[in-house]
Amino acid sequence: MKILLVSANREHFPDPVFPLGLAYAASAVQQAGHRTVVLDLAFAKNPEKALAESIQRERPETIAFSLRNLDNAAYPLTRFYLPDYLSLVRTARESGRAGSRTPFLVVGGSAFGLMPGPMMEVLDADFGVAGESEEALPALLSALEDGCSPLGIPGVFGSPRRGAPSAPVVFPDFPSLPSFDGGAWTRLRPARELFDLPRYLRVGGMANIQTKRGCVFRCRYCTYPLLEGGEHRLRDPESVADEIEELVERHGVLSYFFVDSVFNLPVSHAEGVSRALIRRKLRIRWSAYASPAGLSRGLLETMAAAGCDGLELGTDSADVSTLESLGKGFSTERILEVAEDCRKAGIPLCHSLIFGGPGETPETVRNTCRLIDGTRPMAVVSMAGVRLYPGTPLGDWALESGMVKTESDFLEPRFFIDPAVRSFLIPYLERFSAARGNWILPGVVPPLAPTTQRLIRFLGYKKPLWHLLKYGVFKNRVYRDR
Ligand code: B12
Ligand code: SF4
């Protein structure tokens, strides 16, 4: 079957992000023997026109969209991408009708997986795949090719407009697997060659790579365990190092971002990957998301020796009661220890904070700001308000308490801000961050102007942009370029 895979993500903040998920999907579909064409709309001037032209040219039998972001999860400067996706699916529907055989329309990606039922109601697609593509998409294509219904395939949704049941079939089960065998996806290489990787490297700085899937924590607001499963599924560290070595050799990539939910857990795996990189002597630099839990001095030193030169720490809060109500599973003391250990290991730190959760008060906000500031981080990214998603403990509580009426009401971004800080939070954070210069409020202060971002990348800067905040000249500028 001939399939057109479309990457619909056009967000360029903080950087244009290479569509790694679709590259995995493409690899799986190719391996199953389907003719695969890719259309990446990230840089298209007129996405609808580009899509219509591609459909006319390629005449695919199936068009599958990768929907990465539903919104920017930032309040109050919220950006909502669903209307753009709707317009693309409609364009595909209309352009497809012009051919002799109307193509099937399929949607997938994290934006879809977060709320598959409501998304199927809104988007006029024939099928949707919630969760990972590697097994479900080839199975769906084979079913369509054989004229069978794909609705029994785990994760596959049908169109309610065409009478498919609104409740999903079984979701794929992510079993606990031994050692470093995390399942079939770990043996695939994302098909980066189908995309304009050099352009992403030029305008986005880093290549992205995944060493595992899943997160074993269950922080109350977080969707990552829903998207990736609640167990770790690990790649063999040598295979991670092989992939990086290939990227170094073929494209000269020396700067990377590990997209794992939490890089440092399980500790043995983070160590394994770091040691594999050390053995290869690749002279690369990389950043990752980390949790203060399990981030020991020894591990940090090994990571630094392997090229880690920045961590985005999922700290969320530094107030004892807020940490508990967010379900974080570590203490304020741990945050202080980690900050100190990072300094000793020479790894710059960017705290990621979320203010306004249940039980937040002016005092807990002040506590967090004071304590985090005291750790002298290179940067702090703060969100004011918690994006609510169905299936998370916080989202379920919002549904049960009647704050949100139906699952579809989560589609348009809904944020929770505890009434105790509703009028206090944003003015306070604005003042606090203006006085510091290295606190970023993506939802409150307009982000970096695209021209400045492009200029910085054009000049060859390869690290996450928060690193620039160490320079006095960029203080209050990097993400404040109005
Ligand atoms: C790493 C990451 C980042 C990094 C990316 C670094 C980099 N260079 O890649 C950074 C920090 C830059 C970032 C930024 C943002 N991110 Co982010 N990010 C993630 C994270 C943790 C992993 C994404 C990833 O690469 N996964 C690995 C790939 C392989 O998985 P995948 O993309 O999901 O693809 C799989 C499936 O979805 C499926 N699939 C994908 N495409 C298709 C297509 C079809 C047809 C099918 C069937 C299946 C399918 O198969 C794939 C393989 O199994 C996710 C959360 C998560 N755990 O998934 C959030 C996430 C994607 N981000 C999110 C958001 C909101 C953002 C920002 C808008 C935040 C902001 N305000 O700045 C920006 C947008 C950036 C941009 N330009 O688009 C949200 C999107 C949800 C939402 N609310 O809309 C997520 C889901 C987190 C969340 N809050 O729930 N992000
Ligand atoms: S916030 Fe981090 S540690 Fe907590 S569930 Fe999400 S990914 Fe896991």
Q: How far apart, in whole angstroms, are the C-alpha atoms of residue 133 and residue 124?
A: 20
The ligand placed nearest to the CA atom of residue 113 is 1
Provide the pLDDT for residue 67.
98
The ligand placed nearest to the CA atom of residue 312 is 1
Provide the pLDDT for residue 178.
41
- CA 481 to the chain's CA centroid: 24
pTM recorded for the entire structure? 0.96
Burial 126-137 (b: 16+ CB within 10 A, else e): bbbbbbbbbbbb
Q: Is the bond leading into 76 cis (omega within 30 degrees of zero)? A: yes
What's the chain's length in residues?
482
The ligand placed nearest to the CA atom of residue 314 is 2
Domains, the chain, with CATH or none? 2-162 (3.40.50.2300), 206-474 (3.80.30.20)
- Three-state secondary-structure class, residue 48: helix
Q: Token pair of 45, please?
A: 């001037």
Provide the pLDDT for residue 177.
43
Q: How far apart, in whole angstroms, are the C-alpha atoms of residue 253 and residue 249?
A: 8
Sign of CA dihedral 147, 149, 155, 160: positive
Provide the pLDDT for residue 176.
46
Q: How far apart, in whole angstroms, are the C-alpha atoms of residue 114 and residue 248?
A: 34
Q: Is 225 in the pocket of ligand 2 (CB under 6 A)?
A: yes
Q: Which atom of ligand 2 is nearest to the CA of 289?
A: 2
Q: Is 3 in the pocket of ligand 1 (CB under 6 A)?
A: no
Q: How far apart, in whole angstroms, are the C-alpha atoms of residue 179 and residue 233?
A: 9
* 462 Cβ neighbours under 8 A, 6+ residues apart: 205, 206, 254, 255, 285
Residue 272 region, left (φ>0) first, then alpha (ψ -120 to 50), else beta? alpha
Helix (H) or strand (E) holding 458: helix 450-458
Sign of CA dihedral 437, 76, 396, 365: positive
Provide the pLDDT for residue 470.
83
Q: Token pair of 246, please?
A: 């290939």
Q: Is 168 in the pocket of ligand 1 (CB under 6 A)?
A: no
- Closest residue by CA, ligand 1 atom 22: 259
- Closest residue by CA, ligand 2 atom 6: 222
Q: Is 72 in the pocket of ligand 1 (CB under 6 A)?
A: yes
Q: Token pair of 447, please?
A: 């982000």
Q: How far apart, in whole angstroms, are the C-alpha atoms of residue 256 and residue 263?
A: 13
382 within 8 A of 434, measured Cβ to Cβ: no
Q: Token pair of 143, please?
A: 């079913």
DSSP for 51-109 reads: HHHHHHHH--SEEEEE---SB---SSS--B-HHHHHHHHHHHHHHHHTSSSPPEEEEES
- When computed from its CA atoms, the radius of gyration of the chain, rounded to whole angstroms, is 22
287 within 8 A of 257, measured Cβ to Cβ: yes
Q: How far apart, in whole angstroms, are the C-alpha atoms of residue 157 and residue 159?
A: 7
273 within 8 A of 243, measured Cβ to Cβ: no
- For 38-94, how does the pLDDT look when each residue is reduced to its tens digit (9 = 90+)? 999 999 999 999 999 999 999 999 999 999 999 999 999 999 999 999 999 999 999
Q: Is 109 in the pocket of ligand 2 (CB under 6 A)?
A: no
Provide the pLDDT for residue 124.
86
Q: Is 291 in the pocket of ligand 2 (CB under 6 A)?
A: yes
Provide the pLDDT for residue 167.
55
**pLDDT tens-place values along the chain, 482 residues long:** 999 999 999 999 999 999 999 999 999 999 999 999 999 999 999 999 999 999 999 999 999 999 999 999 999 999 999 999 999 999 999 998 887 789 999 999 999 999 999 999 999 899 999 999 999 999 999 999 999 999 999 999 999 887 776 655 445 555 444 456 678 899 999 999 999 999 999 999 999 999 999 999 999 999 999 999 999 999 999 999 999 999 999 999 999 999 999 999 999 999 999 999 999 999 999 999 999 999 999 999 999 999 999 999 999 999 999 999 999 999 999 999 999 999 999 999 999 999 999 999 999 999 999 999 999 999 999 999 999 999 999 999 999 999 999 999 999 999 999 999 999 999 999 999 999 999 999 999 876 778 888 888 988 999 998 998 887 766 666 554 43
Provide the pLDDT for residue 173.
54
